[in-house]
Amino acid sequence: MLPESEIKRLCDHGLLFKTGPFDWRVQKSARTIYTPQNLYQFLTESSASEQTNNERRSLQALFDRFISGESLTVALHRDVEGTHIKRLDPASNEVWEFKVKPPRQEQSRVFGRFAALDTIILLTGPETRSSINYRREILRCQREWERFCNGFARHEGRSLSDYLSGANVILVGNP
């Protein structure tokens, strides 16, 4: 598990950024997301591309749901469809996928690892679903974790409550 003091150090050095909420109406903060600078810039800076801006706003909305404790669908296995978040297989890698499907656009994905209960560090993405090689993306996410988290172990769990608290977390598929 990555201690809060290490997360603070990474933020103080500009390596990680506490992300969101993006909607001013999100008042409570049930969970926390951190991202590296490149993903933080994607989320906070407008683009000349309308498609990129739509993708950014869709990810912002998903992250706001996560942060605020709103209802989320979650799967502990990659083969379950129709969720906001899922752990990729094999589970021992502890790589999680956040996914959105903006209207009339391809699905976007962002990948990361939990640092602690209700705290995730999203490390790679956004990627479009059609361009993802999941094996490569898992390895990339693991490498980024090592680069940022300097030997600290990732958070591990067996059940959904080991990762996310709150009544608005809906498990889809087999536990």
According to DSSP, the β-strands at 85-87 and 96-100 are antiparallel
Residue 103 DSSP symbol: T
The DSSP bridge partners found for residue 35 are: 17
Q: What is the pLDDT of residue 102?
A: 62
The reply to whether the predicted model has a pTM over 0.85 is yes
- Average pLDDT, integer, range 98-123: 88
- Average pLDDT, integer, range 4-8: 92
**Which residues, 6+ apart, have CB-to-CB distance to 103 below 8 Å?**
none
Among 37-41, 98-102, 154-158, 169-173, the range scoring the smallest mean pLDDT is 98-102
Give the Cα separation of 96 and 113 in Å (integer): 6
Among 9-23, 103-117, 135-149, the range scoring the smallest mean pLDDT is 103-117
According to DSSP, the β-strands at 169-171 and 16-18 are unpaired
pLDDT tens-place string over residues 119-166: 999 999 998 888 889 999 999 999 999 998 888 888 999 899 999 998
Q: What is the pLDDT of residue 111?
A: 97
Q: Based on the structure, what is the number of domains in the chain?
A: 1
pLDDT exceeds cutoff 80 at 169: yes
Structural domain boundaries enclosing 149: 4-171
Q: What is the pLDDT of residue 108?
A: 87
Give the Cα separation of 75 and 18 in Å (integer): 24
pLDDT exceeds cutoff 80 at 106: no
Percent helix, strand and coil across the chain, each to the nearest 5: 35, 25, 40
